[in-house]
Structure 1
Amino acid sequence: MKKHRTDKKISLKDAISIGIGGMVGGGIFAVLGLAVSLAKGGTPIAFLFAGIIALLTAYSYAKLSKKYPENGGTVRFIHQQYGNGIFAGGINNLLWVSYIVMLALYSSAFGSYGAQLISLTGTKEIDVRIFQSSIILIALFINYLSVKLVGEIESIAVVIKLIILIAFIGVGFYGFSVHPENLGQLSPENWESPILLLSGGMVIFVAYEGFELIANSIADLEDKEKNTEKAYFGAVGFVVILYILIAIVTVGALPFEQIANAEDYVLAKAAEPTLGQIGFTIITITALISTFSAINATVLGSGRVNYDIAVDKELPQFFCRQFWGKPVGLIITAILSITLVNLFNLQSISTAGSVGFLLIFSIVNYIGFKQHKELESKKWIHLMASLLCFLAFLTLIIQQFSQNRIGVIASLSIIVFCISLEWIYKKIIPN
């Protein structure tokens, strides 16, 4: 795999910002309403469940990143343990496809919030699919135009969305001080069963997966030995608290029926009771900025992932080709994401994303367990994290099968397809 090293070092603050930016992107705007529909008043607990698994997995990523501080992250960890065989290639292909799923998830959220913003102007309603498809094409064009511009957009977006989300939390808690009765929806009698709370947490796990982007920056991190764990735990810990507070404010702001009706744009709707139409508009614009920056970054990251996988001869060498100075995989990723977002609903896309990343993270945690001596780490943490990810993977499939059978079938089909494709490729073109 080619390394893309620079002489410029990044600080601990920069690394934490990368992790926060990767997590607080489109995920929270896309899946918050879905989480409430599954967990009801227990939604903050669902976010906590998912956050605990993310924190445990961050431990494995931190230890592996210190041992293998090269660009490539998850792809590199899998290669170190399993080489370039069919299993490693299949899982790395699954990582690429999971990025495609995330891109579809973010564009789905952009489409929903974009349609709401247009409706505020009194303009004739526009098909959500137009927003969903066009924003991916715009992001693709920006990626081809300037990678530097992608980074600048991401840096500005991180600051804007964090300021507004923290303000949203502050206003929400002020509302509770004026109307304490609103906290009643968070009481345990309004919680769903433990299995639904866990399932809700796993469906929204995609909102946390972005911390793995830190692995790609460790090579350039100042004082890696001291700062690697701080970068991962600082980013994930902050986002866990942020998500729980957002969930508390959202559940307390709206009746469950209104949340269900506004599932695709619930965060904007939750700002309405306290701030009125202005609050709805501000959060809607914030969602558009956040999801657009997430789409931009994901197009770039996924294009690089399939290029690196092809360099390692786990995808056809066609993916090493360039078009207009960029990997051709950027175009393929965009086309597949547009197809996916227009074929499946939000819940199916979210389920597919969570299933893919839970399986990948279970494997990465297991790699940490197998290499605990070299990593000088606590093997029981790696093992517990691996088991929890795999149990969450199974729980999500079992629970969603009754409610979202198409999403589960699509998720499992993706896994089988990625491994089968690698098997066929290795048979046709042996290394």
Structure 2
Amino acid sequence: MPTEQSDQVSLKEAISIGIGGMVGGGIFAVLGLAVSLAKGGTPVAFLIAGILALVTSYSYVKLSLAFPDRGGTVKFINEGFGKTIFSGGINNLLWISYIIMLSLYASAFGSYAPNLYELTGSKQLDFHIYASSVVIFATAINYYSIKVVGAIESYAVIIKLIILLGFVGVGAYGLIGNENLAQFSFSNWESPVQLLTGGMVIFVAYEGFELIANAAPDIKDPEKNIPKAYYYSVIFVILLYIIIAIVTVGSLPFGEIAKAEDYVLAEAAKPMLGQIGFTIITIAALISTFSAINASLYGGSRVSFEIAEDDELPHELTSQFWNQPIGLMITAVLTLLITNTLDLESISIAGSIGFLLIFAMVNLVGFKRSADVKSKKSITLIGAILCGVATVVLIIQQFATNMLGVLIALGIISSCFLIEWIYKKTEKYNSKKDS
């Protein structure tokens, strides 16, 4: 979360922001989807996505040091491309991608919650009630007090990490002699292209490291601590995700994983800890997804505010509604709409395509402004190319199996640029008319 000007963010707090942003609802939402796509190669799929995040974090390090600003990614895009229709379209996509991530977290909450307490006897109806209720409740908290949002996030990061590390420790021990370890044999691996696709679909589980950029102006001893914050948090999460993937695939047959795809992490705790383990992981999922929704609602509203302040969306978005940016209410309403109309896989694909495209542009900014930000052109160019190629591969591969998800993602991207073009044309027309 962004801090007040007088506060300084320590290295430990900056790392917590990165880890908290990544280990939000993503891993709980997409783990089952990852296994369905990559099978025995799931740990490799997480590694591929993690390497992409790590390369991109290099550009974020250099840009955060050169242009420390609470606007974060919005600021970097504008520094690289100016305040143009193109930069406006990319920044609009960032806001919509926040909303897609919120929908992913809400969907995960709605999938896990009925396993703890059924409301109607219909899982589908329970899903919609829980997913919608958590968004409405988190929105109310955001309107009530931003301090409460920050406090919830601080405690949630500690709780979910303790539970996940406990799951990893007990799970790793439980793998000894487990017959499901045979699922890691190469015969159960998908093709390299399918592994890459699996890694890119779950890329949304890594995108949260970019939140460090919003705190960059307040990080203590930035030259030393900003690089450490990015690299330490990304590397820690890569290792955590790989081990979680190993424990999950080693604990459950593929058939059971497919059956419990939307809440597979809780199901993976059953062989080791029985129903108690299932309940503990379910509670961890609810805490994680709720805290991620809480923080992302605030982050999404700030992004819309920054974009409007930079004259890339109507200035009305800088106005307030109940002492918060009006973008908060718009973000919440759009989140409810997407959550209740799209399935988890389509939401994940749309989110991954959106963030891969945004990160490709951030890497490109690092390349373009290499002299100013003191970055190595080769690393930033590799980052831009990898993100670009990964986006194309994901679109092509998923078009055959989930055409709707791909078309929605492409429609969202096109709409972001179309809205920006209309806004700029209207603004130009109005200014001519007034003069």
Which residue among 417, 420, 423 is the counterpart of 1:419?
417
Q: How does 1:209-288 map to 2 (within 5 A)?
A: 209-288=207-286
Shift of 1:181: 2.8
Whether contact under 8 Å (2:178, 2:251) holds in the other structure is no
Post-superposition Cα deviations, 1:321-346, rounded to whole Å, max 9, x if no partner, equal 11110011111101101000111100
SS state at 2:5 partner: coil
Partner residue in 2 for 1:291: 289
CA distance in 1, matches of 2:307, 2:381: 27
Unpaired runs of at least 5, structure 1: none
Which of 188, 191, 198 is matched with 1:193 structurally?
191
Find the counterpart in structure 1 of residue 15 from structure 2: 16
Shift of 1:183: 1.4
Aligned position for 1:398: 396
Q: Deviations over 1:15-62 (max 9, x none)?
A: 000000000000000000000000001000000000000000000000
1:115 maps to amino acid: P
Query: Which residue of structure 1 aligns with residue 82 of structure 2?
Result: 83
C-alpha contact 2:3 2:215 (8 A) present in aligned 1: no
Question: What SS is found at the alignment partner of 1:9?
Answer: coil
Superposed displacement of residue 371, structure 1: 1.2
Query: How high is the sequence identity, in percent, across the aligned residues?
Result: 61
2-side partners of 1:314 and 1:370: how far apart?
22
**Distance (whole Å) between structure 1 residues aligned to residue 197 and residue 106 of structure 2:** 23
Secondary structure of 1:315's aligned partner? coil
- Please tell me whether residue 128 in structure 1 is matched to residue 127 in structure 2: yes
**Kept in 1: contact 2:25–2:105 (CA 8 A):** yes
Which residue identity lines up with residue 74 of structure 2 in the other structure? V
Runs of 4 or more consecutive aligned structure 1 residues displaced over 3 Å after TM superposition: 121-126
What is the 5 A alignment of 1:152-171?
A: 152-171=151-170
Structure 1 distance, partners of 2:82, 2:342, is: 34
Letter paired with 1:172: G
1:47-94 C-alpha deviation (Å, 9 max, x unpaired): 000000000000000000000011111000011111111001110000
State which of 197, 203, 206 in structure 1 corresponds to 2:204: 206
**Are positions 1:102 and 2:112 aligned together?**
no
- Kindly state the Cα deviation for residue 186 of structure 1 after the two structures are TM-superposed: 1.4
Show the counterpart of 2:378.
380
Structure 2 partner of 1:74? 73
- Asked whether the 8 Å contact 1:115–1:127 carries over to 2, the reply is yes
- 1:191-234, CA deviations, whole angstroms, 9 ceiling, x for partnerless residues? 11111100000000000000000001110111111111111000
For 1:130 and 1:386, the matched residues in 2 are separated by: 40
CA contact (8 A) 1:46 1:200 kept: yes
Measure the CA separation in 1 of the matches of 2:65 and 2:135.
34
Deviations 1:155-209 (A, max 9, x none): 10000000010110111111112x3433111122111111110000000000000
Structure 1 pair 4–259 and aligned structure 2 pair: CA distance change class (3 A): closer
Query: Which runs of 5 or more structure 2 residues have no equivalent in the other structure?
Result: none
Alpha-carbon distance in 1 for matches of 2:179, 2:131:
38
Q: Distance in 1 between matches of 2:313 and 2:253?
A: 49
Specify whether residues 123 and 215 from structure 1 end up closer, same or farther in structure 2 by C-alpha distance, changes over 3 A only: same
Q: Secondary structure at the match of 1:127?
A: helix
Q: CA RMSD in A?
A: 1.4
Distance 2:30 2:191 in 1: 19
Given the two structures, how large is their TM-score scaled by the length of structure 2? 0.96
> C-alpha distance in 2, partners of 1:378/1:185?
41
| Cα distance in 1 between the residues matched to 2:222 and 2:262 | 40
- Which runs of structure 2 are paired with 1:300-339 in the superposition (5 Å)? 300-339=298-337
Counterpart-to-counterpart distance in 1, 2:368 and 2:313: 27
SS in 2 for 1:139: helix
CA deviations 1:350-370 (Å, max 9, x no partner) are 000000000000000011011
Secondary structure of the 1:343 match is coil
State the aligned residue count: 427
Query: When the two structures are superposed, what TM-score results if normalisation uses the length of structure 1?
Result: 0.97
Instruction: Tell me how far apart the structure 2 counterparts of residues 319 and 128 of structure 1 sit (CA, whole Å).
Output: 31
Amino acid at match of 1:207: A
Instruction: Note if contact 1:351-1:411 (Cα within 8 Å) is conserved in structure 2.
Output: yes
CA contact (8 A) 1:117 1:281 kept: yes
Q: Distance in 1 between matches of 2:181 and 2:207?
A: 29
How far apart are the structure 1 equivalents of 2:248 and 2:393?
A: 26
- Note if contact 2:120-2:126 (Cα within 8 Å) is conserved in structure 1: no
Which amino acid is 1:270 matched to? A
